[in-house]
Chains A and B, each alone.
Chain A
Amino acid sequence: MSKMNKTFKLVTAAFAAMVVSTSAAFAAGDLVKAPKQDWSFNGPFGVFDRASQQRGFQIFQEVCASCHSLEYIAFRNLTDIGFSADEAKAVAAEYQVPSEPNDEGEIVDRAAKPSDFWPSPYANAKEAAATNNGKAPPDLSLMAKARVGGADYIYGLLTGYEDHEGTPENLHYNKYFPGYYIAMAAPLSDGAVDYVDGTPNTVEQMAKDVSHFLMWAAEPKLEDRKSLGVRVMLFLLVLTFITFLAYRRVSKKVKGH
């Protein structure tokens, strides 16, 4: 009967070998994954870089906001990235939003307040698509969590434009975009904005800053989460250690008698 056991083991081994018999590498033409970047918010102790976030906000406001909305961010949220309440109020005042109906029942535009959410550049999705070669620019507030790769993907996308033969008209070749042909023209070019803090305004730098900003927009509680997490883990490690010692004492009694 131990022969039978051996046969069994052989069959299992053969099965495992079949699974392991790796052949060629990934099929050619597979999408390249956007390379990982060294973000300050990576890792268990990660925090946002305020200066980068603020520069990223500037890029968003001056470049992306003409096409993309940022639905879940209110002007008051800007205080999270180091702006004062007055500065947030001043930014809000630059925008017009539909007012509440007045006593005559009319809706007129009024200056935005800090409690207002970021206004969409288009009246509706149809208009957004019609103005952009049939593809509506998606909302950016959750973009850094809604794509595989997150902030790395956004950075890759913004720096991944290439000239490519056979690109359909009105579309643009991007090596990191699934399907390669994207309706968004490369939004950044060297010197597109002027940074007040003297940071070089290269495409890479701007892409990095705006991706940083969008990570915050998608996960505004990231810093709270990680700092609480570190404290919770430390507490649990100590608790586990103490419980382990107690367990060892108690279990000695079980084996003994």
Chain B
Amino acid sequence: MSSKQFKNPVANWVEKRLPVISPIHHTLFEHPFPRNLNFMWNFGSLAGLCLVIMIVTGIVLAMQYTPNTADAFGSVERIMRDVNSGWLLRYLHMNVASFFFIVVYIHMFRGLYYGSYKAPRELLWIIGVVILLLMMATGFLGYTLPWGQMSFWGATVITNLFSAIPGVGDAIVTWLWGGFSVDNPTLNRFFVLHFLLPFVILGVVILHILALHTSVSNNPLGIEIKGPQDTISFHPYFTIKDMLGVCVFLLLLCAFVFFMPNDMGHPDNYIPADPLVTPAHIVPEWYFLPFYAVLRSIPDKLMGVIAMFAAIGVLFILPWLDRSPVRSARFRPMFRVMFWAFLVICYILGTVGAQAPDNVYVFVVPYLFSFEVSSWMTVLTVGQITTALYFLFFLSLPILPLFEKTKPLPASISEAVLSKSEK
């Protein structure tokens, strides 16, 4: 590798002593990328951008934040009011956290639609699910830090879930709290872990990219690369495409950061934590809502917790549940319908998670409309039906190929691309 020659003498000098230039050069100019990747393939690099923004803003915020129950809320207000550009840092950190989840959810649904989890990309997918779990842990820990009402009560509810474990549950919860309730020791360790986990994520993302480079990107047709006519280099094609994606992403992000920075948060978190006053309605951050809905749909606490973890855990075995040899949903008529139904189910679960269980269910699309579904449909019933459908989606995948007649696959990527551009 290090025998490679570059035009730039500095690059040559470095490469002879440390082989870091050639992998970059390889990725940019030699690694084969399918020529038909669409904009759905932008979300991986966007997720990387989110991670970088989170780490940078997070480190600077941590220089001003105080992880102590008496001062945490006030220190955040000091950042908002007295620290130069502190409001910008905090609103960025808050809103990019939400956008990070939006981006990663789209990234995952993309993988689901185009069958990117199938051989040879099983490990790439599984590493992705590990990243998702780490992100969720980080998001949950971070939400505790401002020590508002939702911080405190969210932390109390979620840590309490572990008490469902038979026998040792209560001991585990006491151990997690570092005491007999969510208190100063809890806040301190949550801060330490919230600082640590993003770097763990960074490490796992590097494994993710390594696995990607080994198995090469999937593509919208879901067929293998047959030769150089099917591929293009990263630069300039995907550098410019990723940059366009970044621009559009930043436009949307900035619309929130500058003009509606608190819309994705909960107003109760601007009330300082009070262990004596329980909020009328404890809700986690929006990106946990579908899983929260699964948890609450099952009356038994332990079973509910198991179902909630199973809702994510099932993704680990997805590569082996789906037995169809065809990857892309474009050629799988039934899977395609099921995919969209599944997306709707996840959305409904999200709206269920946001509402009190015994209320009448209201279907909501933020900013657009909301309506009551039917006077006898409580949130709980809708949650139970959709939870069942959520798991049914995965359970039907092994038998689906028995019924599904897939469409013929194109002979190669280049052929499909050319016939399309001739039209």
Asked if residues A8 and B259 are in contact (CB atoms below 8 Å), the reply is: no
Asked if residues A220 and B337 are in contact (CB atoms below 8 Å), the reply is: no
Chain A residues lying within 8 Å of B226, measured Cβ to Cβ, are none
Number of interface residues of B (CB under 8 A): 52
B88 at the interface (CB under 8 A from A): yes
A1 at the interface (CB under 8 A from B): yes
A196 at the interface (CB under 8 A from B): no
Chain A residues lying within 8 Å of B403, measured Cβ to Cβ, are 1, 4
Asked if residues B372 and A23 are in contact (CB atoms below 8 Å), the reply is: yes
How many Å from the CB of B377 to the closest CB on chain A? Answer: 9
Asked if residues A1 and B404 are in contact (CB atoms below 8 Å), the reply is: yes
B214 at the interface (CB under 8 A from A): no
A24 to B361, CA, bound (A): 12
A145 at the interface (CB under 8 A from B): yes
Per-residue contact bits, chain A 1-17, to B (CB 8 Å; 1 contact, 0 not): 11011001100100110
Asked if residues A145 and B262 are in contact (CB atoms below 8 Å), the reply is: yes
Asked if residues A72 and B77 are in contact (CB atoms below 8 Å), the reply is: yes
A226 to B256, CA, bound (A): 11
Asked if residues B243 and A243 are in contact (CB atoms below 8 Å), the reply is: yes
* Given A23-B372, A243-B243, A233:B258 Cβ within 8 A: yes
Q: Which of B237, B374, B404, B421 contacts A250 (CB 8 A)?
A: B237
A178 at the interface (CB under 8 A from B): yes
Chain B residues lying within 8 Å of A225, measured Cβ to Cβ, are 87-88, 91, 258, 261
Residues of chain B in range 238-286 having any CB-CB distance to chain A below 8 Å: 240-241, 243-244, 247-248, 250-251, 254-255, 257-259, 261-262, 267-268, 270-271, 280
Chain A residues lying within 8 Å of B271, measured Cβ to Cβ, are 138, 142, 146
B310 at the interface (CB under 8 A from A): no
B161 at the interface (CB under 8 A from A): no
Per-residue contact bits, chain B 82-114, to A (CB 8 Å; 1 contact, 0 not): 000001100100000000000000000000000
Segment at the B interface, from A56-64, A84-92, A101-109, A234-242: A234-242
A168 at the interface (CB under 8 A from B): no
**B78 closest partner in A (C-beta):** A72
Chain B residues lying within 8 Å of A246, measured Cβ to Cβ, are 240, 243
Residues of chain A in range 119-149 having any CB-CB distance to chain B below 8 Å: 138, 141-142, 145-148
How many Å from the CB of B413 to the closest CB on chain A? Answer: 11
Asked if residues A236 and B334 are in contact (CB atoms below 8 Å), the reply is: no
Asked if residues A145 and B237 are in contact (CB atoms below 8 Å), the reply is: no
Asked if residues B360 and A250 are in contact (CB atoms below 8 Å), the reply is: no
* Given A146-B268, A225-B261, A240:B251 Cβ within 8 A: yes
Asked if residues B421 and A255 are in contact (CB atoms below 8 Å), the reply is: yes
Asked if residues B372 and A26 are in contact (CB atoms below 8 Å), the reply is: yes
How many Å from the CB of A76 to the closest CB on chain B? Answer: 10
A72 to B405, CA, bound (A): 66
A218 to B269, CA, bound (A): 13
**A27 closest partner in B (C-beta):** B360
How many Å from the CB of B91 to the closest CB on chain A? Answer: 8
How many Å from the CB of B278 to the closest CB on chain A? Answer: 14
Per-residue contact bits, chain B 353-379, to A (CB 8 Å; 1 contact, 0 not): 000000010010000000111110000
A15 to B371, CA, bound (A): 16
**B420 closest partner in A (C-beta):** A255
B327 at the interface (CB under 8 A from A): no
A232 to B251, CA, bound (A): 9
* Given A44-B259, A254-B232, A247:B373 Cβ within 8 A: no
Segment at the A interface, from B12-20, B175-183, B205-213, B338-346: B338-346
The 6 A-B residue pairs whose C-beta atoms are closest, nearest first, are A229-B258, A146-B270, A240-B247, A1-B405, A255-B421, A22-B371
User: Which residues from chain A sit less than 8 Å from chain B, CB to CB?
Assistant: 1-2, 4-5, 8-9, 12, 15-16, 18-27, 44, 72, 77, 138, 141-142, 145-148, 150, 178, 218, 220-221, 224-226, 228-230, 232-233, 236-237, 239-240, 243-244, 246-247, 250-251, 254-256
User: Which residues from chain B sit less than 8 Å from chain A, CB to CB?
Assistant: 35, 74, 77, 80-81, 87-88, 91, 232, 236-237, 240-241, 243-244, 247-248, 250-251, 254-255, 257-259, 261-262, 267-268, 270-271, 280, 333-334, 337-338, 340-341, 344, 348, 360, 363, 371-375, 403-405, 417, 420-421
13 A-B pairs (CB sep. < 8 Å): A5-B337, A8-B337, A19-B348, A19-B363, A44-B258, A145-B262, A147-B267, A150-B267, A220-B81, A225-B258, A228-B258, A229-B254, A243-B244
